[in-house]
């Protein structure tokens, strides 16, 4: 295939994509496959001579598509959503065609300047004060790594990158038990070490970090000669939506001069609705905030918005300027590669620009409000059904529940078997989590294609599969 065939095959790919999405509801959400089933169908050695695009596309449909989990499916209720709204897909096609590397202003001026403007649109949409500057990272994990590296460098007077961490007091980072594993990974990679990530108890209906315990831990560490560096606060934890009192955490951070990073990777998108902003009251006092438009907001993966109150400390941590990367005579322009761990960067701003313009903020708000309302209705139905038990109440569109296990059956085992049976059934897709040490089924509504009927169907589908599973157990079939 060469340039002259691009138009033909790109049009076919676009048409295939539209048909695929129109027919998603008829497919099982997760493919009923055993590991290895796809790899077995792919040639184990690469071809020496080029193959026809027709053959390659046919193999894509035959081998690859049946092995996909369909994240745009209307009944995808697992993990968090990864919405790719049609407008953002179109933008990604254009970005793929241009194939630009957007590391410096001069390597794609429009990409850099649009990123500055569109992250500021998003800042306004989320109700963050001006003074926050935005950058689009590939993922929240990268944004949090950048934040942890910045905490480390700030605590070390910006000498850690040069001298390393040997012979330093132990750096300490604080978070609740509800934070995402990306925080653990960030402290590994930053050389701080998992033993120095202090996980504090959380409690109350919102599973907020215990601010008094947080402060006590910081004081005890200082007294013991350790070096507190920063706090990661959680708004909408991945398991069941655990949410800190950010204002209380910001008070502690301010009293002890610590860097505060707020992880609102999933829940942040809902902050375009003013009524949900009470979930992160105090966020304006954070040093950095991460929100993933690639989850609930509809910007195709990957698109993670990282907001900074003082980008200078991030740039001091991450900018490396060898001679060949300097853009002479253009002082004052933003070079976003200095704001992130990788040097190379994709043009991520275009899809956010297309998305926000195509839907308007009101359009996006109404999608998110529907999801929250429908999830609440499903949770109500489950809570009042004696066969079920609501485990954690809805945080936005996320809650957890159980089907009551038959007598003499280990309830955790039953819950995990039920999740697997539901996902093999394929009508809906859910995941499990652990709540206070016990297995629970986790539900979130967030797919752009979902409807109220799709959301409410979870009650009947899980009830039916659970009754079948219980009958099999009673019959001694398992
Ligand atoms: C999804 C999620 C992450 C990780 O996001 P990536 O963009 O996949 O790295 C981090 N924190 C929270 C709270 C999340 O929900």
Residue pLDDT, tens place only, 384-438: 999 999 999 999 999 999 999 999 899 999 999 999 999 999 999 999 999 999 9
- pLDDT over threshold 90, residue 332: no
Model pLDDT, residue 476: 81
| Neighbouring residues of 407: CB distance < 8 A, sequence distance ≥ 6 | none
Q: What is the average per-residue pLDDT within 288-295?
A: 98
- pLDDT over threshold 60, residue 241: yes
Q: What is the average per-residue pLDDT within 197-206?
A: 95
269 C-beta closer than 6 A to ligand 1: no
Residue of 207, 244, 266, 271 best suited for mutating to test ligand 1, as the one with most atoms within 8 Å of CB: 266
265 C-beta closer than 6 A to ligand 1: yes
141 C-beta closer than 6 A to ligand 1: yes
Model pLDDT, residue 477: 59
- pLDDT over threshold 90, residue 324: no
Model pLDDT, residue 478: 57
140 C-beta closer than 6 A to ligand 1: yes
Q: Which of 324, 315, 266 is nearest to 293 (CA)?
A: 266
- pLDDT over threshold 70, residue 369: yes
- pLDDT over threshold 80, residue 441: yes
- pLDDT over threshold 60, residue 291: yes
Domains and CATH numbers, the chain: 3-83 (1.20.1340.10), 100-346 (3.40.640.10)
The sheet carrying 133-137 orders its strands as 133-137, 304-308, 288-291, 259-263, 227-234, 171-176, 197-200
pLDDT tens sequence across 56-94: 999 999 999 999 999 999 999 999 999 999 999 999 999
Model pLDDT, residue 103: 92
Q: What is the average per-residue pLDDT within 229-246?
A: 97
Nearest atom within ligand 1 for CA of residue 302: 7
Model pLDDT, residue 98: 97
Q: Which of 115, 117, 187 is nearest to 147 (CA)?
A: 187
Model pLDDT, residue 356: 98
**Residue 185 CA to ligand 1 centre (angstroms):** 12
Model pLDDT, residue 160: 96
**Most confident among 202-206, 406-410, 440-444 (mean pLDDT):** 440-444
Residue of 141, 271, 294 best suited for mutating to test ligand 1, as the one with most atoms within 8 Å of CB: 141
Report residue 22 as tokens.
């129109």
Model pLDDT, residue 14: 96
Average pLDDT score, the chain: 96
pLDDT tens sequence across 5-14: 999 999 999 9
Question: CA-based angle 72:77:80, to the nearest 5?
Answer: 80
pLDDT tens sequence across 339-356: 999 999 999 999 999 999
d(CA 410, CA 414): 6
- pLDDT over threshold 70, residue 331: no
d(CA 400, CA 14): 37
313 C-beta closer than 6 A to ligand 1: no
Residue of 176, 179, 184, 263 best suited for mutating to test ligand 1, as the one with most atoms within 8 Å of CB: 263
- pLDDT over threshold 70, residue 52: yes
- pLDDT over threshold 90, residue 112: yes
d(CA 228, CA 243): 22
Model pLDDT, residue 19: 97
Model pLDDT, residue 201: 95
Burial (Cβ within 10 Å: 0-12, 13-18, ≥19) of residue 323 = exposed
- pLDDT over threshold 70, residue 329: no
Burial (Cβ within 10 Å: 0-12, 13-18, ≥19) of residue 177 = middle
301 C-beta closer than 6 A to ligand 1: no
Model pLDDT, residue 215: 98
pLDDT tens sequence across 294-318: 999 999 999 999 999 999 999 999 9
Q: What is the average per-residue pLDDT within 153-177?
A: 96
Model pLDDT, residue 383: 98
């Amino acid at each position: 295939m060469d340039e002259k065939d691009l138009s033909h095959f790109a049009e076919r790919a676009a048409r295939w994509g539209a048909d695929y999405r129109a027919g998603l509801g008829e497919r099982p959400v997760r493919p009923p496959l055993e590991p290895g089933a796809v790899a077995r169908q792919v040639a184990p050695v690469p071809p020496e001579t080029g193959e026809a695009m027709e053959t390659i596309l046919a193999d894509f449909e035959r081998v690859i598509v049946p092995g996909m989990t369909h994240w745009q499916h209307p009944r995808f209720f697992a993990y968090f959503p990864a919405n790719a709204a049609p407008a953002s897909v179109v933008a990604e096609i254009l970005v793929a065609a241009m194939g630009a590397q957007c590391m410096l202003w001069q390597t794609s001026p429009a990409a850099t300047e649009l990123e500055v403007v569109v992250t500021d649109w998003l800042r306004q949409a989320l109700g963050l004060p001006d003074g926050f500057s935005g950058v689009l990272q590939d993922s929240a994990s990268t944004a949090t790594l950048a934040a942890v590296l910045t905490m480390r460098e700030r605590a070390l007077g910006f000498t850690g990158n040069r001298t390393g961490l040997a012979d330093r007091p132990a750096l300490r980072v604080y978070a609740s038990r509800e934070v995402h594993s990306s925080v653990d990974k960030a402290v590994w990679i930053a050389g701080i070490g998992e033993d120095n990530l202090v996980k504090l108890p959380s409690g109350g209906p919102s599973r907020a970090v215990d601010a008094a315990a947080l402060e006590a831990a910081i004081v005890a560490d200082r007294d013991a000669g350790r070096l507190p560096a920063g706090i990661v606060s959680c708004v909408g934890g991945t398991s069941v939506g655990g949410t800190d009192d950010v204002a209380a955490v910001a008070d502690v951070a301010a009293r002890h001069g610590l860097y505060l990073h707020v992880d609102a990777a999933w829940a942040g998108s809902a902050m375009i609705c003013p009524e949900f902003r009470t979930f992160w009251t105090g966020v304006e006092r954070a040093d950095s905030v991460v929100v993933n438009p690639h989850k609930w907001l509809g910007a195709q993966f990957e698109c993670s918005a990282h907001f900074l109150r003082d980008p200078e400390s991030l740039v001091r941590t991450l900018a490396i300027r060898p001679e060949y990367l300097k853009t002479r005579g253009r002082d004052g322009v933003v070079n976003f590669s200095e704001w992130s761990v990788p040097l190379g960067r994709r043009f991520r701003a275009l899809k956010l620009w297309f998305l926000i313009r195509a839907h308007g903020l009101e359009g996006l708000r109404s999608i998110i409000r529907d999801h929250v309302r429908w999830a609440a209705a499903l949770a109500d139905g489950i809570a009042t059904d004696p066969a079920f038990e609501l485990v954690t109440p809805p945080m936005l569109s996320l809650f957890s529940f159980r089907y009551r296990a038959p007598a003499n059956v280990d309830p955790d085992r039953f819950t995990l078997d039920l999740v697997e049976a539901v996902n093999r059934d394929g009508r809906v897709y859910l995941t499990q989590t652990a709540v206070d040490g016990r297995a629970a089924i986790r539900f979130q509504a967030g797919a752009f294609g979902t409807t109220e009927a799709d959301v409410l169907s979870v009650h009947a589908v899980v009830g039916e599969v659970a009754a079948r599973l219980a009958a099999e157990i009673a019959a001694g079939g398992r």
